[in-house]
């Protein structure tokens, strides 16, 4: 019970701040949409770039939490300082590269989406400005995520929730009172991210986690290697996810636009439903990284087992709720009867498998956070490849969407054996107490 409480004392604050962040995003979208429906069109154009930005941010965030959780155990804050500064430099370099790349390709990019010539200049500038301000949000996220790993989950979550509320309030003022339109999102992000970054840096300085920002070239090189080993597989994993959605949409196109729309709606619900698994995986990894740095890796299997098995209980309830109330939940997103029917069909088959998909995601997130992202990446590539390969064969041969969803669901059921294999393997791997730190 003590291990259970330790895991969820970290997981729940992470989940709370993630949910509030998602809600804040929806509210801000609502504000700019009410101001001018054309703003939502611009945000739609921004969507693929936002996915790339999110992938980069999340891949670096994994490294920041991993480095911080190790430092909370071994107290090697000089090493953590070098790694965090290097992470910030890498983030800055990536955003500079993104800005330059978009500046060079903005004309063909906007033309590809058939943006009318009279709107291209405005939309192009907005995307560039959004990327420029995004670097502040990225750096503040890295610093705040580090505080999660250092053991300040509750306090960080409170600050994150307050910052999201402040961001929403700023957006409201900029949209409806100052009449800044879609740029309201950029201004509110600029102000709130600057404040959060200042708080995080002062906090890290006061607890002795950072001491200086000058790092030797040799320290940067070592840190870059560690970041590459942790973050690159995570980034590649996002690429696999993107390709999975792209290919699955192609498959659904064989059956009709309503099925694509239904999958889009149900996929958004699925992402929300899987947020507890992500938070739990991060929480287990924080504890395990801390144990490894304290030469107590043999205690890790207890945390892994408790976290994964407890997630089975949590996702039994989530699966039941989604399966039972799927039409009502879908109705919160769309009122179109045909789309509701298509999304409901998807959740009828896939919803019950969240009982397995949730614990599986806990394990995969844990791998990413403990330097085993390649293991997670290989599993995703193999499982998605096999599922989609069989699903395409069935779709072409039998022309049955019900059979396609059955194949996808069966694929998740089979992964149950993989989960228990990894639980058994963790006892052998960490039980030797000879595992290396990150």
pLDDT tens for 400-433 read 999 999 999 998 888 999 999 999 988 888 766 5
In this predicted structure, what is the pLDDT of residue 65? Answer: 93
Residues 6+ apart with CB under 8 A from 210: 77, 80, 81, 84, 85, 201, 204
CB 359 within 8 A of CB 311: yes
Residue 330 has pLDDT above 70, yes or no: yes
- How many C-beta atoms lie closer than 10 Å to residue 41's C-beta? 16
CA angle (287, 291, 296) in 5-degree steps: 150
Q: Which residue has the tokens 């965090």?
A: 84
Please write the tens of the pLDDT for every residue from 154-166: 999 999 999 999 9
Please name the residues in contact with 341: beta carbons below 8 A apart, sequence gap of 6 or more: 258, 262
Residue that is written with structure tokens 């911080």 in the block: 68
Q: Are 346 and 202 in contact (CB under 8 A)?
A: no
**C-alpha 2: how far from chain center:** 28
Run of H or E residues at 3: helix 2-35
Question: Which residues fall within 8 angstroms of residue 37, CB to CB, at 6 or more apart?
Answer: none
- Tell whether the model's pLDDT for residue 63 goes beyond 90: yes
Ramachandran angles phi, psi of 204, nearest 5°:
-60, -40
pTM, whole model, 2 decimals? 0.89
> What are the pLDDT digits (tens) for 229-268?
999 999 999 888 888 888 888 888 888 888 888 888 888 8
Q: Which two tokens stand for residue 40?
A: 């939502």
Domain parsing of the chain, residue ranges: 1-215, 230-438
């Amino acid at each position: 019970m003590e291990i259970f409480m330790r895991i969820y004392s970290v997981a729940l604050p992470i989940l709370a701040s993630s949910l509030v962040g998602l809600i804040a995003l929806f509210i801000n979208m609502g504000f700019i949409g009410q101001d001018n429906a054309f703003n939502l069109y611009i945000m739609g154009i921004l969507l693929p770039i936002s996915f790339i930005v999110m992938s980069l941010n999340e891949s670096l965030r994994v490294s920041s939490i991993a480095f911080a959780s190790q430092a909370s155990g071994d107290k090697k804050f000089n090493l953590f300082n070098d790694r965090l500064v290097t992470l910030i430099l890498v983030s800055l370099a990536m955003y500079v590269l993104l800005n330059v790349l978009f500046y060079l390709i903005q004309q063909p990019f906007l033309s590809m989406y058939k943006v009318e010539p009279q709107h291209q200049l405005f939309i192009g500038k907005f995307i560039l400005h959004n990327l420029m301000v995004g670097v502040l949000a990225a750096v503040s996220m890295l610093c705040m995520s580090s505080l999660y790993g250092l053991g300040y989950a509750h306090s960080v979550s409170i600050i994150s929730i307050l910052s999201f509320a402040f961001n929403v309030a700023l957006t409201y003022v900029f949209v409806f009172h100052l009449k800044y339109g879609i740029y309201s999102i950029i201004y509110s992000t600029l102000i709130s991210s600057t404040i959060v970054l200042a708080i995080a840096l002062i906090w890290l300085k006061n607890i002795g986690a950072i001491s200086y920002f000058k790092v030797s070239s040799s320290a940067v090189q070592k840190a870059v290697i560690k970041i590459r080993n942790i973050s690159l597989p995570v980034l590649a994993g996002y690429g696999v996810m993107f390709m999975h959605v792209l290919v699955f949409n192609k498959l659904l196109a064989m059956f009709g636009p309503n099925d694509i729309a239904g999958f889009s709606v149900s996929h958004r619900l699925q992402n929300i439903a899987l947020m507890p698994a992500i938070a739990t995986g991060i929480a287990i990894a924080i504890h395990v990284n801390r144990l490894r740095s304290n030469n107590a890796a043999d205690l890790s299997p207890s945390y892994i087992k408790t976290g994964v098995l407890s997630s089975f209980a949590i996702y039994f309830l989530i699966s039941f709720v989604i399966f039972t109330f799927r039409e009502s939940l879908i109705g919160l997103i769309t009122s179109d009867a045909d789309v509701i029917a298509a999304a409901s069909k998807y959740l009828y088959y896939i919803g019950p498998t969240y009982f397995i998909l949730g614990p599986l995601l806990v394990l995969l997130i844990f791998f990413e956070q403990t330097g085993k992202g390649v293991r997670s990446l290989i599993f995703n590539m193999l499982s998605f490849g096999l599922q989609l390969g069989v699903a395409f064969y069935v779709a072409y041969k039998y022309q049955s969407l019900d059979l396609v969803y059955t194949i996808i669901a069966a694929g998740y059921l089979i992964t149950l054996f993989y989960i228990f294999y990894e639980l058994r393997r963790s006892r052998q791997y960490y039980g030797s107490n000879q595992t290396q730190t990150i």
